[in-house]
Chains A and B, each alone.
Chain A
């Protein structure tokens, strides 16, 4: 695996940057959809090296950031139960719900375990037949197939004490929602390569055509990002708006048919609330009727949870690319990774945390910003 070094080669990066500088003639605003791409951009200082005319707007593609507060609260409630072993990917443990996080549940005696795969949680369920084992199934189209596979396995093997707390989200409806926002400034998208490696590129041509935006499927290493930017800028300069695959080493146009079939078997499309944004129609998955037995929300009937986000937090606008993190009055003052007001400050893939961790030197929070002069966030529907 020599991939990492090769895709961070300074000489090749310089050439790509020269090409971008030579191509650009006017300002363009591109959105990188995925939090992993945001992380790479800020960590490697790519935004500092691009021509001033190319603005990168950070998209909503951090699954940790967009998991709604009420889902986090459901997780906390389930994880607190003495009969439950609650399994999760590591970075969900620090996401604040209303008043606490999974770390705190663990310190209060809850059995909360970090796993690296949902199949590990299934193994724990087999080893602990007297316990209810719940896996926190969050994320985009990338993490959904293994979760679907695990539920499928649980049913096949008759492992009844395993269930999934699902909050899966889908990228294309989010792009649609962002484009429909009246204050949208995005002129081109770097689509999330790993999502496309699963789902293929079939959903994008229609989006690109309808909104007249280039969509470039992009990877995650520095050179991938630069190549994605280069291709998007080239299209914009030529007045084109097609779907282009700049991540062909991982993405086939048809995606991964086996994974798609598994998703269609286990999940069904549903409206989904995105933290900081609101409900986006058809933007999520839930377990289909056939697998309802393995749905943790049903099994533990966690209902009646009402949540309230801190009023100061403008992560919704950050997630839609309407403001940069440092344009929020709370950035770096009342809101830091240590005391995050919203999820974008929790996950290192969240734009706020990335700015705080890597950019504090050249970013003073914007003082004296008029809090009443807010951009229009998406119309947030009440969460069902």
Chain B
């Protein structure tokens, strides 16, 4: 299971098993979406499968997750998603009303994100061979001229910005999946980030890299960027916006909010001279109101993310290994 957790095991699976087997050069970009040129147009192309349990959770469901997740993967290349495909794998016996609810939710999310679900496929597997509803979506979108978002573009001095409060999606899922009550309702932050990215690119097309910190959280996103760019990252722990309910839930479960999944947030590496203007533009957008500078790229400790703790100590923020496990005490 750890190989699907978005951590070190996932990365190894792609690098050591899939990439050599598939060949091809584009895969080596290792971004959330591939940037390809076709007939003179620069396209972002991405796919993702959604196997979330439960299907319906506070703040969203597998349907809008499947739309927003792929829209966001494209947005991280600077592309506005244009068309999505939708592949359903349904388990025999699943309630038709649940399928209808998911489909309606996908339609609504697509309209909000300004993307069209243009093609699809449905398969049904025998009872016991699935988990109700699995969804795969793939998407394409145009990358605007002059936009080149890649981890390799990060240079020491870049400012690291997060678009808002972290950890909401992961804690919302955990609260319903495990029947844990944290005394407050925590809702997933599931949202499409295309509009926020457009607002940022309107300030400057010279953003270096964007990443949506889903599985593995902000820690995984920063580690991937540090490794791919060969720069170090220093994170100011006290500046990371963590909502109280997330902090409390993580304290109870012995988890670190930096590793908890998000579904409507992005992490940006921005050249220092543009940081303030980009931050203002983000804060003016509904999905970036709580945007904050959380750190910077540095020359020292290349490939490593180091946190300055609230007390003034330092620690390494590692790539999560597999799934985060609640601690015993």
Contacts and interface: CB of A to CB of B under 8 A. Distances in A.
A150 interface: no
Contact of B313 (A44, A89, A140): A44
A340 to B, nearest CB: 10
Contacts of B183: 1
B21 interface: no
Interface residues of B, number: 32
Interface string A64-102: 100000000000000000000000011111100000000
A116 B178 contact: yes
B321 interface: yes
Interface class of chain B by DSSP: loop
Contacts of A140: 329
A163 interface: no
Contacts of B180: 116
A138 B318 CA distance: 28
Interface stretch (B58-66, B70-78, B301-309): B301-309
A38 to B, nearest CB: 12
A49 interface: yes
Contact of A8 (B178, B254, B310): B310
Contact of A10 (B248, B306, B310, B325): B310
Contacts of B247: 4-5
A300 interface: no
A347 B247 CA distance: 21
Interface string B162-193: 00000000000000001010010000000000
Given A48-B314, A222-B311, A93 B325 contact: yes
A339 to B, nearest CB: 11
Nearest to B248: A1
Contacts of B328: 63-64, 89-92, 138-139, 143
3 closest A-B pairs by beta carbon, nearest first, are A45-B313, A90-B325, A358-B315
Nearest to A362: B314
A49 B312 contact: yes
B204 to A, nearest CB: 33
B329 A90 contact: no
Contacts of B4: none
A361 B2 contact: no
Nearest to B327: A91
B284 interface: no
26 contacts: A1-B248, A2-B244, A4-B247, A10-B311, A10-B312, A44-B315, A45-B313, A45-B314, A45-B315, A90-B325, A90-B327, A91-B326, A93-B325, A94-B322, A114-B325, A116-B180, A138-B328, A142-B329, A143-B328, A194-B329, A222-B310, A348-B254, A357-B315, A357-B318, A361-B301, A361-B304
A93 B324 CA distance: 11
A239 B30 CA distance: 60
Contacts of A92: 328
Nearest to A43: B315
Given A103-B2, A357-B318, A114 B326 contact: yes
Contacts of B108: none
Contacts of A337: 321
Interface class of chain A by DSSP: helix
B258 to A, nearest CB: 11
B220 to A, nearest CB: 14
Contacts of A360: 304, 316, 318
Nearest to B308: A45
A265 B268 CA distance: 57
A94 B325 contact: yes
Interface in A351-378: 357-361
A89 B327 CA distance: 7
Given A1-B244, A4-B251, A48-B313, 8 more contacts: A2-B244, A8-B311, A114-B325, A116-B180, A348-B254, A359-B316, A360-B316, A361-B314
Given A4-B248, A338-B321, A349 B327 contact: yes
Contacts of B311: 8, 10, 13, 44-46, 49, 222
Interface in B84-113: none
B312 A358 contact: no
A108 to B, nearest CB: 13
A42 B313 CA distance: 9
Contacts of A42: 315
Contacts of B1: 103, 106-107
Given A4-B251, A357-B316, A348 B310 contact: no
Contact of A89 (B312, B314, B326): B326
Contacts of A103: 1-2
A52 to B, nearest CB: 15
Interface in A17-45: 36, 42-45
A48 B2 CA distance: 33
A216 B326 CA distance: 28
A359 B309 CA distance: 13
B209 interface: no
A63 B329 CA distance: 8
Contacts of B327: 89-91, 347-349
B197 interface: no
Contacts of B244: 1-2
A347 B321 CA distance: 12
Contacts of A194: 329
A142 B327 CA distance: 13
Contacts of A358: 315-316
B8 interface: yes
A36 to B, nearest CB: 6
